[in-house]
Structure formats: C-alpha cells, structure tokens
Amino acid sequence: MEEGILITQLNDFIFCPASIYYHHLYEQTNVYLYQNTAQVKGTNAHKTIEDDRYSSRAELLQGLAVYCDKYHLFGKIDLFDVKTGALIERKNTIKTIYDGYVFQLYGQYFALLEMGYTVTSLKLHSKSDNRSYPVKLPGDDPEMFLKFTDVLDAMNHFRLDDFQSENIEKCRNCIYESACGVSLL
C-alpha cells in the first residue's frame, strides 16, 4: 500500500527528492538554525492563514486540512473561496511558476473535489508584490496533469539509496547541502 504524500512535498521532490529525507531529519530542530532567509519569509507568508487571521469572511476557507484518497495526498489549503470556487496557493514571492507550485494546487484541488467542493479556478498569489497568476485546471492542461501523475509515481517508487543528484545549481541552493550525502559540491 502506498503511503500518503504531503502536498507540500510535491514541490520539494521536484527540487530534490533527497531534501524530503533531510527535512524529516531536521523536523524537530529550530528552523532558524537551517532555513535560509527566503524560506523563513515563505513560512511567515502563511502565518495569517495558519492562525486563521487572514479573513473573517465565512465563505473563505483558510488553512483547511484536506485529504485526497485517489492520489493519497494530504495537507492544508491556503485559501478557498466557497462562493466563487477559487483555490489560491500563496507564496511569499513568485519569480517563476515552477511545476511544483502547480502540483501543490492540483493536490489541493483533487482533495477539495473529493470533499464535495466545487473548484472553478486555481491561482498562485505572490504576496510580496500582490500579483496573482491563473493556473489551468488539470482537465484543461493534459500535459501538466501527466507530469503531475508522473511525479506522484516517482515519489511512490523513490529510493534514496538509488538517488544521485544531477543538478549542481540545486545543490548550491539547498539548505541541506552540508548534510547531504548525494550533493555534487
């Protein structure tokens, strides 16, 4: 049986599959000891949602725990407007729309559908410059949906023992690089 996948790990896995392993090692450690400035800002961008202080509008769900049985995904949404059907994933700063960002939205989307909600649109929101980026629904972007299912399959079959890093730039930007046994540096 497949284990559940944390929705936030979709983005992490694409960056580097080994980062998920190291994240678990550091899980009980104070994040200020290993996170870089960008990651601390990203964590803080979600603070109002986690504390249920983003909005008092009843139709705006914030920080709702979700689970998708079909894809064995679980996590929390950032924002979902029940009235309009808009699902929004917030990031501190978006300079590039990475596949992992889109896959996080897909995971949340499928979970909400299974929970009986109607999701009509997906958006990424960059908090620092207050810009929103529309994302096509999975049914409207077959190529991206196929990438999503391929990543899920890769995650379900991943073995750290068999992994070899291939991107030195990712190693240079990884907060776990100094502890990593597969780093290219």
Strands 5-6 and 65-68: unpaired
In a domain, 120, yes or no: yes
What does the pLDDT read at residue 30? 54
Tell me the two tokens of residue 157.
């079959």
pLDDT band, very low/low/confident/very high, at 33 (cuts 50, 70, 90): very low
Where does the pLDDT of residue 185 fall: very low under 50, low under 70, confident under 90, or very high at 90 and above?
confident
Domain assignment of residue 87, given as a range = 5-178
Q: Is the pTM of this model over 0.75?
A: yes
Please work out, in degrees rounded to the nearest 5, the angle formed at the alpha carbon of residue 90 by the alpha carbons of 85 and 91: 155
Structure tokens at 103: 């896959």
Report d(CA 167, CA 171) in Å as an integer: 7
Mean predicted confidence (pLDDT) in 85-109: 97
Answer whether residue 184 is part of any domain. Answer: no
Residue % of the chain over a pLDDT of 70: 82
97 domain-assigned: yes
Task: Residue 92: give its domain's CATH number.
Answer: 3.90.320.10
Is 171's pLDDT higher than 90? Answer: no
Residues 6-32 have a mean pLDDT of 81
Give me the number of domains the chain comprises.
Answer: 1
Asked if the structure places residue 83 within a domain, the reply is yes
Least confident of 8-17, 80-89, 138-147: 8-17
Q: Is residue 183 part of a domain?
A: no
Q: Which residue has the tokens 């104070």?
A: 30
Evaluate whether residue 185 is within a structural domain: no
Mean local confidence (pLDDT), 35-63: 62
